Amino acid sequence: MTRENIPSDYANSVIYEIQKAFWDERGNGARFRLTTVGREYFADKCLSQIHGESVAEIVKGIGAALAEQGIAAGMSHEEEDRIVRLKIPGCLHQSVERRFIAAGAEPLMCVPANLVVLAVEAVLKRPAEIAEIKVGDDGCEVAIVLFEPRPDL
């Protein structure tokens, strides 16, 4: 077995168990410690796909990288003031979120949304935070809050 053919149900089961152990330890506080998951993948696979300095270009680039790697079917978004609403169809990790919901908890993490947050911070120099993760029949919908840029001190 090579790294390229690890079954996704195995990987997602491990991801779920790690997140659940973190949830058991920290409760909802675990959510705020999982925000940088995907940082290395972002640097290696996503950053070079972003060809502009707007949320639209970020979502387009990350969506293309995720589709190319077979992680999600793509990504779209809507912007409303400081809220970015992502739609992520066909995500490889959706079963992890569904298991949290089935257990009566809110999903703790969305790797594709984490990649967008990392990009907003790297490209736009704006802090951002995942506010909500919803799982539906057509994929996940994630709300991200954009904050004002930090001053250069």
- List the chain domain ranges: 7-146
The pLDDT, as a whole number, for residue 140 is 95
Give the tens place of pLDDT for each residue, 89-107. Answer: 999 999 999 999 999 888 9
Which tokens sit at 51? Answer: 């060809």
Q: Specify the residue for token string 């796909």.
A: 49
Whole-prediction pTM: 0.89
In whole angstroms, give the CA distance from residue 103 to residue 101.
5
DSSP for 35-72 reads TTTTHHHIIIIIGGG--SSSHHHHHHHHHHHHHHTTS-
Secondary-structure class of domain 7-146 per CATH: alpha beta
Do 73 and 67 meet the contact criterion of CB atoms below 8 Å apart? yes
Residues whose CB is less than 8 angstroms from the CB of residue 12 and which lie 6 or more positions away in sequence, other chains included: 92, 93, 95, 96
Q: How high is the mean pLDDT of the chain? A: 91
Give the tens place of pLDDT for each residue, 3-51. Answer: 567 788 898 899 999 998 988 898 888 888 888 899 999 999 898 999 9
Do 130 and 35 meet the contact criterion of CB atoms below 8 Å apart? yes
- Report which DSSP code applies to 152: P
In this structure, the number of other CB atoms found within 10 A of the CB of residue 148 comes to 8
